[in-house]
Amino acid sequence: MSWSRWFHTRPVARDVWLVAEPGHVNSWLVAGRDRAVLVDSGLGIAPIRPVVEGLTDRPVDVVHTHAHLDHVGGDAEFSRVAIHAAGVAELTAGASAAERRRYLAHTRRMLAAADAYRSLDRDFFHLLSADSDPRPLPPGVDETTWAPGPAPTPDLLAEGDVVDLGGRELRVLHTPGHSPDSVCFLDERAGLLFGGDTVNTGPAYAQAPEADLPAFAASTARLAELDVHLVLMAHFGRAVAEGAYLREVADAFARLLAGDAVLRPARDCDDDPVREAVFDACSIYVPAEE
């Protein structure tokens, strides 16, 4: 597979493009009159900048929803990146070979199941699309050959900051919970919310040591009060949801905190045991019982 086929892109709104690594992570390119930003730079398994430059002729910087390895891997390709202050240390340190090895093990488990999933989907469900059909790893990728370069020294993002693109603004919303540095970006005029890992249609990851379940619930409750047309997300089979989905996610977190949730054993992408709180619209991973 050529590097260029690792990505899938499509326009979603005016001057907004999905830049997907299908089955893995979504980045979002947002352009204004004067400049553009890439919301997260992906895994770094394949070069993302040539893909982005094929979509817009405006200069592109990177703004991050958080510092986890699947969102920052392309940073070395850009001269300017920005992240919340709570993510600077993790971004600067970079992901370890052990973290990359765990991610690749998860990917190989997913790809081993993909043909059976495609067959079932083709016969019964018809949910897979180019956005979500998992891409095989390019030849030769392992934790040593997949070694993203260092990010440039980041600019800092804070609650209420405005990213001005010229005729288009993205407002920074600090939404801790998944991680202390998690932020979302709100295009108020267009009614678009870029949700990072604060909002997804698969399991919300609230099980890791850096996660904070009450903060996660508070962040999602805050988002549910916004007037949003579309939610643009980073993971799982559905990249775009209606704005009303924010209320469904917030209600799920509220029910979990209130003890009104069915919990079942599950395993996260590191193959670690967790408990999964299951709701109609989404699910939430929390730590396994000790």
Every domain of the chain and the residues it spans: 3-94+146-263
The tens digit of pLDDT for each residue in 253-288 reads 999 999 999 899 999 999 999 999 999 999 999 999
Q: What is the pLDDT, as a whole number, of residue 3? A: 57
Q: What is the pLDDT, as a whole number, of residue 290? A: 56
Q: What is the pLDDT, as a whole number, of residue 5? A: 85
Q: What is the pLDDT, as a whole number, of residue 65? A: 98
Instruction: Output the pTM of the full model.
Output: 0.96
Using alpha carbons, select from 228, 234, 274, 268 the residue that is nearest to residue 247. Answer: 228
Using alpha carbons, select from 49, 10, 24 the residue that is nearest to residue 136. Answer: 24
Band (pLDDT 50/70/90 cuts) for residue 1 is very low
The tens digit of pLDDT for each residue in 57-101 reads 999 999 999 999 999 999 999 999 999 999 999 999 999 999 999
The tens digit of pLDDT for each residue in 95-143 reads 999 999 999 999 999 999 999 999 999 999 999 999 999 999 998 999 8
Superfamily of domain 3-94+146-263: Ribonuclease Z/Hydroxyacylglutathione hydrolase-like (3.60.15.10)
The first and second tokens of residue 71, run together, are 């969102």
